[in-house]
Amino acid sequence: MTPIAGTAPEAAGTTPEATSTHTRGYVADKDALLNRMRRIEGQARGIAKMIAEDRYCIDILTQIAAVDTALEAVAYKILDDHVSHCVKDALAAGDEVVAAEKSRELLRAVHRFTRTR
């Protein structure tokens, strides 16, 4: 994944864990998630077009809220899969150091996610 300008490497998905070959919790839903993201991408392009066409403010805000809700649904799905797969496996492995790191990682992710709400 290419880092987004102005983001920290961790936020851009370049942590050592992000580049490992472990199976991700969301892999079973990968196609559905990608389809959702493509629809969201189309919605975002639609918003840009609405702005370019000087559409009514409330109509644009309504579409922005729809994109925000759609992104939030994707985020919750990935967060749920992370807990039920990555964190669960780390805890089950019995390695206290790894389990503690996964727990800290999860709390940081939840904090970042909820901070934007």
User: Exposed (0-12), middle (13-18) or buried (19+): which is 106, by Cβ within 10 Å?
Assistant: middle
Rounded to an integer, the average pLDDT of 89-101 is 89
Report the C-alpha gap between 100 and 75 in whole angstroms.
23
User: Exposed (0-12), middle (13-18) or buried (19+): which is 24, by Cβ within 10 Å?
Assistant: middle
User: Exposed (0-12), middle (13-18) or buried (19+): which is 12, by Cβ within 10 Å?
Assistant: middle
Question: How much is the pTM?
Answer: 0.71
Q: Which one-letter DSSP state was computed for residue 20? A: S
Cα 59 from chain centroid? 26
Instruction: Map out the domains of the chain with their CATH numbers.
Output: 28-115 (1.20.58.1000)
| 34-51 residue pLDDT tens | 999 999 999 999 999 999
Buried b (16+ CB within 10 A) or exposed e, 54-88: eeeeeebeebeeebeebeeebeebbbebbeebbbe
Over 50: is that where the pLDDT of 3 sits? no
pLDDT of residue 58: 98
